[in-house]
Amino acid sequence: MFQKTEYLPSTEHNPDCNIAVGWISKDAYLTYGRYIKPSVSVNGVTYHLEFVEYYSGKNYCPESTQRSYSRIWHVPGQVPPAKWRDEVTALRRFLYSQEAKR
Tens digit of each residue's pLDDT (9 = 90 or more) over 21-79: 999 999 999 999 999 887 777 788 777 889 999 999 998 888 888 999 999 998 877 88
CB 72 within 8 A of CB 95: no
- Decide: 88 and 17 in contact? Cβ < 8 Å: no
pTM attached to this predicted model: 0.87
In this predicted structure, what is the pLDDT of residue 76?
A: 76
Say which amino acid occupies 67.
Answer: R
Range of the domain at 61: 4-101
- The count of structural domains within the chain is 1
Of residues 46, 45, 47, 65, the one with CA closest to residue 57: 65
Strand partners, 53: 31, 72
Please compute the mean of the pLDDT values over residues 12-18 and round it to a whole number.
90
**Confidence class for position 10, pLDDT limits 50, 70, 90:** very high
Residue 32 phi, psi dihedral angles, 5° rounding: -125, 120
